[in-house]
Amino acid sequence: MSGSFTTTTARNIFYGGTLFFLLVFLALTFQNEQIIPQRDQREMLSNPQIAAGKKLWETNNCVGCHTLLGEGAYFAPELGNVVVRMGSKEAVKAFIQSRPAEGVPGRRSMPQFGFSDQDLDNIAAFLDYVSKINAAKWPPNVQG
């Protein structure tokens, strides 16, 4: 790297190249925003239970053990499709409610969060909403 290729040239290519590809990325992002309304089930958000459920999801740090659409921690099952896997919202609620406070001896354990019935409804509504997002056929099968 010598001759006519000077540091100034390199610097200019850096600024020009970065700016160009940044603009392309922003264009793709704009396009993305146009398309996702067909995939993200935003109509469902008019049900206030989902936002409440998302907040419970966050304030109890479920993502610290579980993945949701493949993102999060790898210690416990994927939950993006858990309503499908367990068959119903009721089954999901029953599972969460039945966690023993002291854990299951020797087994990876999930905390007992002490949710009210309404909290459970909200969480289940949230997980149901996520399971309906069009995630390009992911996960490969129901086991997540």
Partner 1 sequence: MQYKSQAVAKPYFIGALALFVAQILFGLVMGLQYVVGDFLFPHIPFNVARMVHTNALIVWLLMGFMGAAYYLVPEESETELFSPKLAIALFWIFLVAAGLTVVGYLTVPYATLAKMTGNDLLPTMGREFLEQPLLTKMGIVVVALAFLFNITMTVLKGRKTAINTVLLLGLWGLAVMFLFSFYNPDNVVKDKFYWWWVVHLWVEGVWELILGAILAFVLIKITGVDREVIEKWLYVIITLTLVTGIIGTGHHYYWIGTPEYWQVWGGIFSALEPIPFFALTLFAFNMVNRRRREHPNKAATLWALGTGVMSFLGAGVWGFLHTLAPVNYYTHGTQITAAHGHMAFYGAYVMVVLTIISYAMPLLRGRAANSNKAQVAEMWSFWLMTISITFITLFLTAAGILQVWLQRVSDNPMPFMVAQDQVALFYWMREWTGVVFLVGLVVYLWSFFVKGEEKAA
Residues of this chain that bind ligand HEM (CB under 6 A): 70-71, 73-75
Burial-class residue 18 by CB neighbours within 10 Å (0-12, 13-18, 19+): exposed
- Of 49, 85, 122, 125, the residue at the interface with ligand HEC (CB under 6 A) is 85
Across 6-144, where does the E strand assignment appear?
67-68, 71-72
Residues of this chain, 86-105, that bind ligand HEC according to CB under 6 A? 92, 95-96, 104
Nearer to ligand HEM, 12 or 134 (CB): 134
Task: For residue 62, state whether it binds ligand HEC (rule: CB under 6 A).
Answer: yes
- Of 82, 120, 125, 130, the residue at the interface with ligand HEC (CB under 6 A) is 82
Nearest to 52 by CA among 122, 117, 120: 122
Report the partner that residue 125 touches, choosing among ligand HEM, partner 1, ligand HEC, none (CB closer than 5 to 8 A by kind).
Answer: none
- Of 44, 52, 112, 113, the residue at the interface with ligand HEC (CB under 6 A) is 113
Report the partner that residue 14 touches, choosing among ligand HEC, ligand HEM, partner 1, none (CB closer than 5 to 8 A by kind).
Answer: partner 1
Listing DSSP states for 53-95 in one string gives HHHHHHHTTGGGT-EETTEE-SSS---TTHHHHHSSHHHHHHH
Q: Taking a C-beta distance cutoff of 8 angstroms, is the pair 99, 112 a contact?
A: yes
Task: For residue 110, state whether it binds ligand HEC (rule: CB under 6 A).
Answer: yes
C-alpha–C-alpha distance, residues 44 and 50, integer Å: 8
Is residue 39 helix, strand or coil?
coil
Interface residue list for ligand HEC (CB under 6 A) = 60-62, 64-66, 76-77, 79, 82, 85, 92, 95-96, 104, 107-111, 113, 123
